[in-house]
Chains A and B, each alone.
Chain A
Amino acid sequence: GQQLNQSPQSMFIQEGEDVSMNCTSSSIFNTWLWYKQDPGEGPVLLIALYKAGELTSNGRLTAQFGITRKDSFLNISASIPSDVGIYFCAGHNSGGSNYKLTFGKGTLLTVNP
């Protein structure tokens, strides 16, 4: 089946630092999504990307849909303590099943005040 490789697995940074994480796929995706999950909660959609090469921002977050359609990255600028959580990339491929998301295993972000 499809796999998403998400890296890094975890990050420990100081408040104010910028953060970058990425996902790569073994196959082409036509949508990339980035979610954040807090402990004991459901994933919350941060950014959705629908076109290869697309660069989208949401406040301090910026994400890009790779040209090859097999990768995406998420950047967080000037991190703050509430950025702590697990960040998941997810995508679905060109097969038409746009509800059947494949998720990465997540990047655990810890921000030291």
Chain B
Amino acid sequence: NAGVMQNPRHLVRRRGQEARLRCSPMKGHSHVYWYRQLPEEGLKFMVYLQKENIIDESGMPKERFSAEFPKEGPSILRIQQVVRGDSAAYFCASSTRRDTIYFGEGSWLTVV
């Protein structure tokens, strides 16, 4: 997973606040994915993005969650008005085309 950079690694938010998680893909990778891992669970797909395009957001909750991957800069996963159930580890991954994907080290969100 070396090369996929996520920040912050740990984030604490009060209920109702916004959380922004950033991901810089591996060099040369233009495909970015976000997954969520609840405690003692496997990872679950949220969204797949290419530069300036959302390709598949079928795993994203319909409300409060959004993702972008602008032409310049990192991909952002944004969670508005966080609730306790949003507490989880959020993993970004990247790949070239649709090849093997590599995960970052994760961002742990705690909602208090």
Using CB atoms and an 8 Å cutoff, list the residues of chain A in contact with chain B.
4, 6, 33, 35, 40-45, 48, 88, 90, 97-106
Contact = CB atoms under 8 A, between A and B. Distances in A.
B42 A104 contact: yes
Given A99-B56, A100-B56, 17 more contacts: A4-B42, A6-B42, A33-B100, A43-B91, A44-B103, A45-B1, A45-B102, A48-B100, A97-B56, A99-B98, A100-B48, A100-B59, A101-B35, A103-B44, A104-B42, A105-B42, A106-B40
A99 B1 contact: no
A4 to B, nearest CB: 8
Contacts of A105: 40-42
Nearest to B108: A40
Contacts of B44: 103
B64 to A, nearest CB: 22
